[in-house]
Structure 1
């Protein structure tokens, strides 16, 4: 019995270290930088802004479909609107972030109608997104388990979502619904190209 328990523990430790090794930044992995050229901090507060101006602003949230609370992550309609500050964090205990790390993205401000943290997730099977739409976690049964990543796109960045069931990653793009909302959705060929501006406060109206 002891031998079996020891073997099981060793195997579990091996799997844990293999996961960490595969996701920790290597020497060839680039550090992420903000619009001021500073390294992006783990747990830091940033506005996620479009690189190509003139077609919407930063990232915020709104109510879509039958929602009575702003659960849908969207690009703001006005290009002068930076959106809401977003916490960008990795579960790894490191000071700064790198390309390809598993990340949590969440709004720093939690509206009164949402009892859970404003963490992002992907929800599939919604007609509004005709695929999978970025929402706040904790409200839909058909959430996709996984994590976000920031990846290089030419000289800028793009967001990706990776499903934990198969490690398949898709880019995050923008799609307009019938109400004119710019939904953040999973896409295979049209990523939302972004950069990151350091936010100075947790909430901006």
Structure 2
């Protein structure tokens, strides 16, 4: 009788733990997003569906910032997602992850997304640090959350339990040179993921 009770308890605990995991994130074809696989992020913003890339948005050539590509026919740059637990193979909603552009650029930078203050705005740039979750890397962690039938990107890191952090939408702000750079915004935009 005690073995039967033990098996029932194990089943209940396993079921409860499985229920606590956040929902999986899916690409446009209905496939689960996988860590290390290359994707394009396709923002759907004000009727425009333009992929993301790195570009100059400041008065100097480097570092490069995360922007929407200039043309709708431009695929932008492929990128990968790395969960806070690098052993995880799938990407789940509302979990900390690094976002990293795969291609090299003219600037000597990591291509890891990072939130950085520039001229009074919190913008997304490409010279963060991959991995190493903690207070020193708080600005390098983003999340994917459900937004209507699509997704949105948010900055709401939980990699440091004793650190104070803000939770904000990632949207688009127009830079001085006309670039549509990613930044903290009151207005999130919808995004989809396409396998590269």
TM-score (norm 2): 0.77
1:99, distance to aligned residue in structure 2 (A): 0.2
**Aligned twin of 2:167:** 169
**Aligned twin of 2:141:** 147
1:113, distance to aligned residue in structure 2 (A): 2.6
State the Cα deviation string for residues 41-86 of structure 1 (Å, max 9, x = none).
Answer: 0122100002357435110011122222351110112222221101
Q: 2:40 aligns with which of 38, 42, 47?
A: 47
CA RMSD of aligned residues (A): 2.4
**Aligned twin of 1:195:** 192
**Aligned twin of 1:100:** 94
**Aligned twin of 2:72:** 79
Structure 1: segments with no counterpart, 5+ residues: 1-23, 200-205
Q: Is the 8 A contact 2:116 2:139 kept in 1?
A: no
Going from structure 1 to structure 2, the CA distance change for 1:70 and 1:82 (only over 3 Å counts) comes to: farther
1:178, distance to aligned residue in structure 2 (A): 2.5
Partner SS for 1:137: coil
1:29, distance to aligned residue in structure 2 (A): 2.2
Larger mean CA deviation between 39-48 and 73-82 belongs to 73-82
Q: Is the 8 A contact 1:56 1:76 kept in 2?
A: no
Larger mean CA deviation between 91-100 and 156-165 belongs to 156-165
Q: Is the 8 A contact 1:72 1:134 kept in 2?
A: yes
Going from structure 1 to structure 2, the CA distance change for 1:29 and 1:137 (only over 3 Å counts) comes to: same
Q: Is the 8 A contact 1:160 1:171 kept in 2?
A: yes
Q: Is the 8 A contact 1:51 1:156 kept in 2?
A: no
State how far apart, in whole Å, the 1-side matches of 2:138 and 2:83 are.
18
Q: Is the 8 A contact 1:25 1:98 kept in 2?
A: no
Q: 1:109 aligns with which of 100, 103, 111?
A: 103
Residue 61 in structure 1 maps to residue 51 in structure 2: no
State how far apart, in whole Å, the 2-side matches of 1:180 and 1:25 are.
46
Structure 2: segments with no counterpart, 5+ residues: 1-16, 130-136
Q: Is the 8 A contact 1:87 1:106 kept in 2?
A: yes
1:162, distance to aligned residue in structure 2 (A): 2.1
Question: How many residues are paired up?
Answer: 168
Partner SS for 1:173: strand
Q: Is the 8 A contact 1:157 1:193 kept in 2?
A: yes
Q: Is the 8 A contact 1:56 1:78 kept in 2?
A: no
**Aligned twin of 1:132:** 122
State how far apart, in whole Å, the 1-side matches of 2:190 and 2:172 are.
10
